């Protein structure tokens, strides 16, 4: 088999393995078997994605694998795999206590793989329309999963997410149509006018006014999915009320996918000299998310909501970094995105088991975890230290890079940035101390937690803080330069 | 240029008609009336898309027009009628603000969309640019409807009228690949299924589909 053909099959595998497993999992009763199949399918997808580093096809009209998106795909499939491992032990407990039924579990597994397929499609799509469709499918599958417990609060959260997500996606489609209008007069009608590769190449010739208008809609639309500050209302509810593996995937992956869409359009905008610079808009939204979430973190009473607000904060930092642009800030943004995905999903793995052990998500009833559940307690504490940005963990590294690159270019912007970071740092540590230490309170049940994915993520984050291997640094630098 | 003039006028008439029906949906008090107006909305959209198919010489757009006619103007309103009947929510619709301020806001939004779109799209062809301005107006009116209603069914109708605006925009952009039109129609289908499940579940658990009732309960107090 030639190199080209092999690459093509790998891309197809990344899409088809999860898509076909979704169909298969919908048919299989028995949660043990389907949980294993879920893991297996995720592992196979990860293997195919990792192989794309070496072998990749030439970009076609619909699919593309380039240096930029391969990073996102591998991160996506990796966290997808570890979450499926966590999910297997999580759902066993949910079934035991009767929060999920065997039928809803079948549905859950099918949706999990459908979500993975949709996210991978959004990442490899070389057509802005196709990418939009993929993001929409990803949204719908997560809406269904957020509402799976069918409690009052879960239904409210799913409904809110559905309405706000659909509006966001509608605006993004309008932006996509305007981008097509801009490119049609240069490239001509047809599929080519919606391909990334063509858009980026011809960007300098596009009508700047149309591009400006399109970007505003795209920023509002995909920005809603990223959870940027004025548009974030769905995010805490959706994270808090759905099953915890879904919170991990939402926070760690889906937000990245939406941000990736925005970054692609940012590259088009940056290619046109007369168009509005996308940077200031992204910087403003990023900063406002960071500051807003920093304040909100203090007033949380629900452990999953707490970390949902922390996701808003970190997406704000990442958007800020990409808004600053330039090789250094982009590098910092990429690194921070990777670190956030790994750390935040690890935290949600821990939180899921903690909530099961305590039978509640209320922060006031979760006390003294390091005494009652030492392994989970210390792991959660380490995760919170990591996400708050304590040295020597990876998030500290990337936040330090964001701050230092901002100081070098726009010292004034660094002031609110540092203020927001410190605000969030204080809030998270204050909350974490309450959770981890003190007299254990309330009920405490044993859980069969599989902490392997949790420790694996934390080990990676620690490693990244101490030493990032040379090839990875070079790869990220290369991608950062491409992002412009 | 006589022929072009006629093409133009009819396209305008239909797109403008869509905006008008959007306005009419804004002041409906009764659920059934709202659903009927949604059917009219979809009907006008279908005519507008069919007209675009004719003047652009793009036969695939007839498919989009057909989907709008059969699916949006017939199946969805009928199905929603039955849901409303079964849930017993055919009485008046709760609004957040009065009809007067809503209509004023709607007028402001239409002015805004024309003010924004026309200067910006100067280089695009003249047919598309006016279509886009009207489409944006329909989208914004749909959004307005979603935020000004409490009731879940009328929010859904608002969302579907927003989708109609998107289809208008997509067909106005000449030669846009089919992928998008089908996806829009398809997304409405999926969205509708999702909504159906939701309405069903909400009904199963509680005795209301009023979103405000859901709002009264939260995981935490703010």
What residues of chain B lie within 8 A of the CB of A210, using their CB? 120-121, 123-124
Residues 6+ apart with CB under 8 A from A133: A121, B179, B183, B187
For residue A451, count other CB atoms closer than 10 A to its CB.
Answer: 17
Domain ranges in chain B are: 2-215
Tell me how many residue pairs between chain A and chain B have CB atoms under 8 A apart: 138
pLDDT at residue number B204: 41
DSSP state of B91: S
What residues of chain B lie within 8 A of the CB of A178, using their CB? 132
Query: What are the φ/ψ torsions at residue B151 (nearest 5 degrees)?
Result: -75, 135
What residues of chain B lie within 8 A of the CB of A194, using their CB? 176-177, 179-180
pLDDT at residue number A337: 95
Tokens of B156: 């859904």
3-state secondary structure of A42: helix
3-state secondary structure of B205: helix
Residue A251 · residue A308 · CB < 8 Å:
yes
ipTM: 0.86
pLDDT at residue number A188: 84
A320 burial (CB, 10 Å; 0-12 / 13-18 / 19+) is buried
Domain ranges in chain A are: 277-484
pLDDT at residue number A122: 94
The partner residue sitting opposite A177, judged by closest CB among B122, B173, B217, is B173
Name the helix (H) or strand (E) containing A225.
helix A208-226
Please answer yes or no on whether A163 and B146 come within 8 Å at the CB atom.
Answer: yes
For residue B100, count other CB atoms closer than 10 A to its CB.
Answer: 9
Distance in angstroms (rounded) separating the CA atoms of residues A111 and A126: 24
Residues 6+ apart with CB under 8 A from A220: A168, A171, A172, A231
pLDDT at residue number B186: 57
Distance in angstroms (rounded) separating the CA atoms of residues B194 and B182: 18
Q: Share the mean pLDDT of chain B.
A: 77
Residues 6+ apart with CB under 8 A from A170: A221, B139, B159, B162, B163, B166
pLDDT at residue number B98: 82
Distance in angstroms (rounded) separating the CA atoms of residues A464 and A187: 43
Q: How does pLDDT run across B33-61, given as a tens digit for each residue? A: 998 999 999 999 999 989 988 888 878 88
Q: How does pLDDT run across B161-217, given as a tens digit for each residue? A: 888 898 888 888 777 775 455 556 556 655 655 565 556 555 444 444 555 555 544
3-state secondary structure of A301: coil
Nearest chain B alpha carbon to A128? B180
DSSP state of A58: P
The partner residue sitting opposite A163, judged by closest CB among B132, B136, B155, is B155
For residue A483, count other CB atoms closer than 10 A to its CB.
Answer: 20
What residues of chain B lie within 8 A of the CB of A163, using their CB? 146, 155, 159
The segments of chain A whose pLDDT lies below 50 read none
Mutate to test the interface with B, among A149, A159, A212 (most CBs of B within 10 A): A159
Distance in angstroms (rounded) separating the CA atoms of residues A70 and A61: 18
């Amino acid at each position: 088999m030639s190199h080209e053909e092999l690459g093509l099959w790998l891309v197809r595998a990344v899409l088809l393995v999860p898509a076909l497993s979704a169909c298969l999992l919908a048919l299989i009763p028995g949660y043990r078997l389907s949980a294993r199949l879920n893991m297996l399918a995720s592992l196979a997808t990860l293997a195919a994605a990792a192989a794309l580093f070496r072998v990749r096809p030439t970009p076609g009209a619909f699919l593309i694998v380039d240096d930029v998106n391969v990073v996102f795909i591998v991160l996506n499939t990796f966290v997808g795999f570890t979450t499926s491992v966590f999910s297997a032990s999580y759902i066993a407990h949910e079934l035991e206590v009767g929060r999920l039924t065997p039928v809803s579990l079948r549905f859950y597994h099918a949706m999990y793989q459908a979500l993975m397929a949709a996210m991978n499609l959004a990442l490899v799509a070389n057509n802005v329309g196709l990418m939009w469709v993929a993001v929409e499918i990803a949204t719908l599958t997560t809406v269904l999963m957020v509402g799976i417990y069918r409690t009052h609060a879960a239904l409210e959260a799913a409904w809110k997410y559905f309405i706000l997500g659909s509006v966001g996606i509608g605006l993004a489609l309008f932006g996509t149509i305007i981008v097509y209008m801009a490119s049609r007069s240069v490239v001509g009608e047809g599929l080519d006018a919606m391909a990334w590769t063509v858009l980026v190449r011809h960007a300098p010739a596009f009508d700047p006014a149309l591009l400006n208008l399109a970007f505003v809609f795209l920023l509002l639309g995909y920005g809603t999915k990223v959870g940027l500050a004025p548009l974030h209302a769905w995010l805490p509810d959706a994270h808090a009320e759905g099953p915890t593996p879904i919170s991990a995937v939402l926070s760690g992956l889906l937000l990245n996918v939406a941000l990736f869409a925005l970054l692609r359009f940012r590259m088009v905008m940056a290619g046109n000299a007369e168009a509005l610079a996308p940077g200031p808009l992204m910087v403003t939204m990023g900063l406002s998310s960071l500051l807003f979430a920093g304040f909100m973190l203090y007033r949380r009473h629900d452990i999953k909501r707490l970390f949902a607000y922390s996701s808003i904060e970190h997406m704000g930092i990442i958007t800020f970094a990409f808004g600053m642009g330039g090789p250094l800030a982009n590098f910092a943004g990429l690194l921070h995105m990777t670190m956030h995905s790994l750390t935040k999903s690890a935290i949600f793995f821990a939180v899921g088991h903690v909530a099961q052990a305590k039978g509640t998500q209320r922060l006031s009833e979760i006390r003294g975890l390091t005494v009652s559940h030492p392994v989970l307690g210390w792991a959660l504490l380490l995760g919170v230290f990591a996400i708050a940005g304590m040295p020597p963990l990876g998030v500290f590294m990337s936040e330090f890079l964001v701050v230092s690159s901002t100081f070098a270019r726009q010292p004034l912007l660094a002031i609110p940035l540092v203020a927001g970071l410190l605000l969030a740092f204080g809030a998270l540590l204050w909350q974490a101390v309450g959770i981890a230490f003190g007299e254990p309170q309330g009920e405490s049940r044993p859980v069969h937690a599989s902490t392997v994915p949790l420790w694996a993520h934390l080990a990676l984050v620690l490693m990244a803080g101490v030493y990032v291997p040379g090839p990875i640094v070079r790869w990220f630098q290369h991608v950062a330069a491409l992002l412009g | 240029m006589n022929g072009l003039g006629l093409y133009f006028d009819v396209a305008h008439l239909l797109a403008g008609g869509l905006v008008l029906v959007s306005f009419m949906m804004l002041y409906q008090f009764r659920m059934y009336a709202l659903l009927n107006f949604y059917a009219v909305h979809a009907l006008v959209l279908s005519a507008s898309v069919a007209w675009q198919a004719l003047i652009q010489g793009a036969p695939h757009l007839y498919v989009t027009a057909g989907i709008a006619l059969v699916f949006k103007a017939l199946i969805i309103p009928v199905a929603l009628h039955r849901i409303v009947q079964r849930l017993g929510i055919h009485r008046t619709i709760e609004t957040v603000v009065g009809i007067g301020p809503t209509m004023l806001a709607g007028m402001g939004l239409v002015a805004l969309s024309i003010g924004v779109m026309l200067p910006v799209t100067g280089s695009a062809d003249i047919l598309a640019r006016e279509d886009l301005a009207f489409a944006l107006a329909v989208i914004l009116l749909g959004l307005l409807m979603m935020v000004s209603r409490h009731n879940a069914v009328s929010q859904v109708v608002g969302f579907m009228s927003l989708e109609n605006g998107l289809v208008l925009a997509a067909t106005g952009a000449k030669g846009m690949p089919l992928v998008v039109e089908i996806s829009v129609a398809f997304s409405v289908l999926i969205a509708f299924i999702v909504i159906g499940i939701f309405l069903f579940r909400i009904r199963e658990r509680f005795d209301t589909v009023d979103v405000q009732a859901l709002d009264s309960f939260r995981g935490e107090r703010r």
